[in-house]
A = this chain, B = another copy of it.
Amino acid sequence: MPGEHTACVIVSIGDELTLGQSLDTNSRWLSARLLECGIVTARHVTVPDDAVAVERAVREAAADAPLVISTGGLGPTEDDLTRVALAAALGDELVEDAEALRAIEGWYAARGARMPATNRVQSQRPSGASCLPNPHGTAPGLRARLRGADVFCLPGPPREMGPMFEACVLPALRPPAGRVVRTRVLPTFGYGESRVAELLGDLMRRGRNPLVGTTASVGVVTVRLRYEGGAKEAESALAETERAVRTALGAAVLTPEGDTRERTLAEVVLDLLKERNETLAVAESCTGGLLGAMLTGVSGSSVAFAGGWITYTNAMKHAELGVPDRFVPDAADARAPGAVSEETARAMALGCRERARFVLRGAAGVDHALAITGVAGPDGGTAAKPVGTVWICRASRDGTVDARRFLFRGGRDAVRTWSAMSALGMLRLRLLGVEMELLGEVERGEG
Contacts and interface: CB of A to CB of B under 8 A. Distances in A.
B312 A205 contact: no
Given A289-B293, A319-B359, A31 B42 contact: no
A73 B140 CA distance: 38
A440 B112 CA distance: 9
Interface residues of A, number: 120
A354 to B, nearest CB: 13
A22, A32, A379 — which one has the most chain B CB atoms within 10 A of its CB? A22
Contacts of A300: 379
Nearest to A359: B319
Contact of A289 (B204, B299, B310, B319): B310
Given A18-B41, A77-B214, A414-B159, A306 B297 contact: no
A21 B32 contact: yes
A411 B159 contact: yes
Contact of A292 (B28, B288, B377): B288
B307 A312 contact: yes
A362 B217 CA distance: 42
Interface of A: 12, 14-25, 27-35, 40-49, 53, 57, 75-79, 107, 110-112, 116-119, 136-138, 157, 159, 183, 185, 193-195, 197-198, 204-206, 211, 213-217, 224, 226, 282, 284, 286-293, 295-297, 299-302, 305-313, 315-316, 319-320, 330, 358-360, 362-363, 376-379, 407, 409-414, 416, 440, 442
Which A-B residue pairs are the 6 nearest by beta carbons? A288-B296, A289-B292, A289-B289, A20-B32, A20-B31, A44-B46
